[in-house]
Amino acid sequence: MTEEVPSFGFPVEAGAILAFARAIGDQNLVYADAAVARRAGFTDVLAPPTFTMVADTFDPAYPRRPRLGTDGIEPSSTPYDALLHVHQHFEYHRPVCAGETLTARRLPATEWTRQGRRGGTLEFVETVTEFVDDTHDVAISSAWTDVRPEAGHRVMSTAPPGEASAGEPTDGRVVVRDLSRTQIVMYVGIAGDFHPLHHDEAYAVAQGYPSVFAPGMLTMALTGRAVTDTVGDGRLHTFGGRLTGQVWPGATLRVGITPTSPDEWKVVTVDQDGRVVFDGTATTACTSGASGPDRPYNPEAS
């Protein structure tokens, strides 16, 4: 008997796209103005590259969403600090725009273990979600990989700003300057990822962290801004990589994008101390994408 794959509907809404774009500071008009998006060849406002993370809001079983009731918040069955998001990969089969409803299918998780460099066993869990349209075709697939370190989540943490090398890097495109807790909460709110380490200062400190820190997917979403500014809108075929370090309030992030072939780029994001916080690649499909006058964003103004 074939195991039923959990699924749920995911309406792609223009308002959610706008809120997501605002949370990552992207002023690209294809995410906000349907007329601009249509002139660029899309059916409606375009969803940014990592927008499908918003689908978690519609997942009735999503473990990081608090259950509110007359008795308060029902605690999650998943230990909040047990897993660390270390890798994310997207494959795009076509652009996704406002006005369509996708079906999100959570495929069975894949698990494996290996020995960590710092000692102890690392347990990995990869979950693939397919976003299927009304013609039963996969529009986007997303692979999320977590690790559970034997010695605990904090052994893989990085230092807060100012505790590494001195001197801010000058190369790369700035995608955020002096990251605020407000921006972190803006992202958490639209993405639906209410892990308390990203918004509850008292909880984070009680767990031994200096403060809250940004979700890894906020780092990747900010990185995606620089990617689409470089390769064009709606042209990505794949975008993925390792989330290699935490991003703390006050961080400034720069993204370096280096072509390695006509349709592939190396993508590296560093913080103000030169630490790599995202290390990945992007590839493009052979389609046209918007750029130029409808992209007013000035990354140096962040």
- Lowest-pLDDT choice from 119-123, 138-142, 144-148: 119-123
pLDDT for res 79: 52
For the chain, domains (ranges, CATH) are 7-66+157-301 (3.10.129.10)
pLDDT for res 207: 84
**Residue bearing the bigger pLDDT, 122 or 176:** 176
User: Residues for the chain: how many in total?
Assistant: 302
Our CA angle for 71, 80, 150, nearest 5°, is: 145
* Distance of alpha carbon 195 from alpha carbon 193, whole angstroms: 6
Percent of the chain with pLDDT over 70: 81
**Residue bearing the bigger pLDDT, 118 or 246:** 246
* Distance of alpha carbon 147 from alpha carbon 156, whole angstroms: 10
Using 50, 70 and 90 to split pLDDT, how confident is the model at 69? low
**Which of 178, 188, 122 lies closest to 153 in space, CA to CA?**
122
Residues 175-181: what's their mean pLDDT? 97
pLDDT of 52 higher than 70: yes
pLDDT tens digit string along 217-226? Answer: 999 999 999 9
* Distance of alpha carbon 162 from alpha carbon 276, whole angstroms: 14
Tokens for 97? 């725009």
